[in-house]
Amino acid sequence: MRLLSTTEFADALGISESTARRLADAGDIRIQKTKGGHRKIPVAEALRYVRDSKTKILRPDLLGLATREDSSGSSFSDQLLKALREGHAASVIGLTQTMYAEGISLAEICDGPICYAMNAIGSTWPQDKRSIFVEHRATLLCVRALCQIRAALSECEENAFTAMGAAPQDDPYLLPSLMVSLVLHEVGFDETNLGPNTPVDVLTDSVEDEHPSLVWLAITNPIRSRRHREEIEYLADVIQSYGGVFLAGGQSAETLDIPHVTICRSMSDLRLRSVALQRRKA
């Protein structure tokens, strides 16, 4: 994790170093101290402060951030696509952190630039024989970038609503369930992501033990097995029995047509429904 000096933090925001030290000493910015007593600010904490305080960044380069548009006038989506195709990790991380620092929600980042870039990369198969390699590398770079943003998110409150979910068996995709988890965390859920290729009966056992307020399935591959479908139906019954909410999303989610399962068509849709759930149960 990259650490900033108070001088770098102050220069990035255009404030005095004494103001930066006061923010640190007052607890407005969480710091780490070296053995010599020097204040160090994690980049993730700097991003959190910038986003929460809506402070303008004068020197984004000091925080490792990208500019809103490069010299060619390309958008975040185009810049991210270029960085992912080239496998440029620093650019991918910098772009996603810049979007977050500017107040763009994780749902919008996922629905917009990440979705655009990953769809564009995926569409080159089978014409481009390197496309599978590029897509796998791009997925891992997006995971790294999103996990770094996770470090800038505030921890949920002790009495937060809980959520649990996964991508089902035979669904090996990392990004969808991770994105769901982060979107829910951003709006205040205490969420547990069981990850890709999770047997539905394993998720059901966990749901029966924990009774989360919200359960999700990120379904990319079609549900072809009758047994697989019956397991999802049973999971829906379990969630319904204690008053939880079952959300499903992904390319193949709309083929479910199972009672008590609400389909989310985007991360923004998920965000709206999860916030509505919090308000309804508050």
- CATH label of the domain that carries residue 13: 1.10.1660.10
End-to-end CA distance of the chain: 36
Task: Verify that 33 and 92 share a domain, yes or no.
Answer: no
What CATH number is associated with residue 232? 3.40.50.280
Domain end: 87, 115, 150, which one?
150
Identity of residue 97: Q
Which structural domain range is residue 140 located in? 76-150
* pLDDT for res 71: 41
Residue 34's pLDDT is what? 83
Phi and psi, residue 192, nearest 5°: -125, 115
One domain for residues 119 and 211 = no
Instruction: Tally Cβ neighbours within 10 Å of residue 59.
Output: 13
196 vs 33, more confident: 196
Distance CA 161, CA 167 (A): 21
Q: Are residues 30 and 58 in the same domain?
A: yes
Whole-prediction pTM? 0.86
Structural domain contains residue 156: no
What CA–CA distances, in Å, run from 68 to 81, 83, 142, 272?
15, 15, 19, 26
Name the nearest CA neighbour of 243 among 278, 223, 274, 214: 214
Number of compact structural domains in the chain: 3
Q: Specify whether 219 is located in the same domain as 273.
A: yes
Looking at the chain, the whole-number percentage of residues with pLDDT higher than 90 is: 62
The verdict on 57 and 80 lying in the same domain is: no
Q: Mark whether 140 and 213 lie in a shared domain.
A: no
Residue 63 structure tokens: 């925080």
pLDDT per residue as tens digits for the range 254-281: 888 898 999 999 999 999 999 999 998 7
Residue 262 lies in a domain: yes
Residue 26 lies in a domain: yes
| Distance of alpha carbon 268 from the chain centroid | 12
Same domain, yes or no: 143 and 209: no
Average model confidence (pLDDT) across the chain: 91
Q: Which of 150, 180, 210 is the last residue of a domain?
A: 150
Q: Looking at the predicted structure, is the pLDDT value of residue 65 above 60?
A: yes
Which of 105, 121, 150 terminates a domain? The answer is 150
The answer to whether the CB of 223 falls within 8 A of the CB of 229 is yes
Q: Is there a single domain that holds both residue 91 and residue 170?
A: no
**Tell me: the pLDDT tens digits for 92-143?**
999 999 999 888 999 999 999 999 999 999 998 777 788 899 999 999 999 9
Judge if 21 and 94 occupy the same domain: no
What local confidence, expressed as pLDDT, does residue 102 receive?
Answer: 86
User: What percent of the chain stands above pLDDT 70?
Assistant: 97
42 has a pLDDT exceeding 70: yes
Residue 222 falls within a domain, yes or no?
yes
Give the closest residue to 53 by CA, choosing from 101, 106, 89: 101
Q: How far apart are CA 168 and CA 239, in angstroms?
A: 16
The total number of residues shown for the chain amounts to: 282
Residue 70 lies in a domain: no
Any domain includes 69 = no
User: Who contacts 75 (Cβ-Cβ below 8 Å, separation ≥6)?
Assistant: 69, 113
pLDDT of residue 219: 96
The token duo for 107 is 């749902």
Task: Looking at the structure, tell me whether residues 81 and 103 fall in a common domain.
Answer: yes
